[in-house]
């Protein structure tokens, strides 16, 4: 697997909306709305999320995750002198469970460890990726409604080292 990241571009809007929508599929299956109502709701929520990220993390990096040159996901993160915050990481369903998330996280762990700062992410209670974060040394430290704040302290164990970087491309 050869993966890379690149800055989000305006031409990524359709894929970004599709990725966002994929994270809400279970929820949308529970409501008795028409497809048009669901799409309208998702567009509104997608715009609200973008506005929220821009307001709370104006200097955040917004990157597309690419495998063999094809965009298959997104990762948004923000580094301050005190923390490295992962705002969002979404990988297309067909590319999940192949080690891509681990590779991305190991790179961020290396950056946070090098700076001596903790790495943080909010994870919804029902998100199966929580087990990946726990394996990589993240621990839940606070609950806020339907999500938990997971933190990985700088230098906590080994994320995967240089072997992980070779494996990830």
CA-derived radius of gyration, the chain: 16
Q: In this model, does residue 134 exceed pLDDT 90?
A: yes
Domain count, the chain: 1
% residues pLDDT > 90 (the chain): 85
What pLDDT, in 10s, does the model give residues 8-31?
Answer: 999 999 999 999 999 999 999 999
Residues constituting the chain? 169
pLDDT value of residue 169: 56
Least confident window among 53-67, 127-141, 146-160: 146-160
pLDDT value of residue 2: 86
What CATH number is associated with residue 103?
Answer: 3.40.630.30
The domain containing residue 87 runs over which residues?
Answer: 3-168
pLDDT band at 168 (very low <50, low <70, confident <90, very high): low
Q: What is the pTM of this model?
A: 0.88
Q: In this model, does residue 160 exceed pLDDT 50?
A: no
Closest Cα to residue 12, out of 80, 101, 104, 92? 92
pLDDT band at 126 (very low <50, low <70, confident <90, very high): confident
Continuous segment of H or E residues that includes residue 91? strand 84-91
Report how far residue 30's alpha carbon sits from residue 167's, in angstroms, rounded to the nearest whole number. 39
What pLDDT, in 10s, does the model give residues 82-103?
Answer: 999 999 999 999 999 999 999 9
Structure tokens at 112: 């946070």
């Amino acid at each position: 697997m050869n993966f890379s990241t690149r800055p989000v571009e305006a031409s990524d809007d359709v894929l970004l909306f599709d990725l966002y929508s994929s994270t809400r599929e279970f929820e949308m299956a529970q409501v008795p709305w028409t497809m048009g109502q669901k799409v309208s709701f998702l567009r509104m929520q997608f715009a609200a999320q973008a506005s929220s990220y821009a307001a709370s993390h104006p200097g955040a990096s917004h990157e597309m995750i690419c495998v063999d040159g094809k965009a298959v996901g997104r990762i948004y993160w923000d580094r301050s002198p005190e923390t490295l915050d992962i705002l969002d990481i979404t990988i297309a369903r067909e590319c999940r469970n192949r080690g891509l998330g681990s590779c991305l996280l190991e790179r961020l762990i290396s950056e946070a460890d090098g700076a001596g700062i903790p790495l943080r992410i909010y994870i919804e209670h029902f998100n199966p990726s929580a087990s990946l974060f726990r394996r990589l040394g993240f621990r839940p430290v606070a609950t806020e409604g339907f999500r938990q704040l997971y933190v990985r302290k700088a230098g906590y164990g080994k994320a995967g080292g240089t072997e992980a970087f070779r494996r990830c491309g």
